[in-house]
Amino acid sequence: MIPGMNASQMQGMMKKMGISQTNLPVSKVIFEMSDSRIIIEEPSVMRVKMQGQETYQVSGEAREESMDSFSEEDVNMVVEKTGKSSEEVRSFLEENDGDIAGAIMKLRD
């Protein structure tokens, strides 16, 4: 903030310069990378429009998760088809890059 300037004066000055800020009612932000994702629950998100461009400012508590090459639904399907435990199936899929067909063929009773 600029000393001696209140919030409404700052907003007016920004409006004259063509800058607008909007708080967005966002419940979750997810950044997906090739091998992991960052998740921010209940973030504070501000959209800033300036000179024809939009930028987003995100703040909040973040957690990082690794991304598997298979989903929980994949695990459940292989468990159903093979009769093996979810731990066995998950282990096979992790070691074989999520090869679902291979898991069914090799783990089938």
Q: How many domains does the chain have?
A: 2
Q: Is the pTM of this model over 0.75?
A: no
**Are 41 and 83 contained in the same domain?**
no
pLDDT the model gives residue 16: 87
Say whether pLDDT at 1 is over 80: no
CATH number of the domain residue 48 falls in: 2.20.70.30
pLDDT in tens, 74-95: 999 999 999 999 999 999 998 8
Q: Look at residue 24 and tell me if it is in a domain.
A: yes
Whether residues 20 and 48 fall in one domain:
yes
Model pLDDT, residue 97: 85
Residue 29: predicted pLDDT: 97
10 pLDDT tier (thresholds 50, 70, 90) = confident
The pLDDT of residue 23 is above 90: yes
Both 31 and 62 in a single domain? yes
Q: Per the domain annotation, does 7 fall within a domain? A: no
Asked if residue 98 and residue 60 are part of one domain, the reply reads no
Residue type, 54: E
Query: β-strands 53-59, 44-50: how paired?
Result: antiparallel
Are 85 and 63 a contacting pair, CB within 8 Å? Answer: no
Residue 33 located in a structural domain: yes
| Cα 90 to Cα 96: distance, rounded to the nearest angstrom | 10
Q: In terms of residue numbers, what domain contains 103?
A: 72-107
Residues 55, 77: one domain? Answer: no
Quote the strand ranges of 1-109, DSSP E. Answer: 19-24, 28-32, 36-41, 44-50, 53-59, 62-66
